[in-house]
Structure 1
């Protein structure tokens, strides 16, 4: 348990909250005794199953000592890593779809409407004021790169010749 808790960077308090959320209330002092008493206190089946759920491990992996199953723990760590990368990849796709919808809507709006919308948004969410002009420039087509492009690993590809997104017919 100590190996898994430390690998996640959790305190006893965090683990106790997660165990409680998994339906198994365990006192912080009990977690401490599990790790530090010699011999450690006994663990009941409900606790083992809750530990499995909290740490995302199968029963066999949970009851195997880390030193004797290091390759298994590497596999588990790789699974956690790949799951997180997959979630991030999915979320990035969602962000880029949202960005495309935002740009489509901005293209149909005047500069004044865009500026007003960005200022309202930034105020309501307490967005860093330095981002306001960057978002306005992005939504009006004055720049091609989203202010958050580095955070999401890219931005929506715009067709050539669509630098300024403002409606060409109305000049807005």
Structure 2
């Protein structure tokens, strides 16, 4: 798939995160998307004819302060940042940023390539997911996506634990995502 845009890796997601129970969400449809504990990849796949994953990049990158704090990362920890777009019928619906310990990249998550991370996480019961944190990402926070984003977008993140390892999976619903369907349908 070729995108109409060329995002810069790493895009980053340096935003304020709040526990989901502290965020007032008046839109039940959006809330359902943000708090769905199933595989987001499978949900997107079920709603389109052609699913694709565009890997923006993966490598050793600096972590945001909130990521370091959530992971209890130390100066000698090794992490890889992986950023992708989940696309439905050639339209980007989700921007995802994962922070993965190098040890998992070397073992359980080796050779991911353009395979969705969720495919591995949700097919392996050894991975446990935490509660969600939510954010509102401004167009400025997502400027490196190089997309025409004019509204503040919603995102979520959670920790996945595997034995002694922990990793962050964060996802932001992009403007064309069906998570905002009620906004378009009812003019909100």
TM-score range, shorter chain: under 0.3
TM-score by length of 1: 0.24
- Larger proportion of helix: 1
TM-score by length of 2: 0.22
- Larger proportion of strand: 2
- Larger RCO of the pair (alpha carbons < 8 Å, separation 6+): 2
Q: Which has the larger radius of gyration?
A: 1
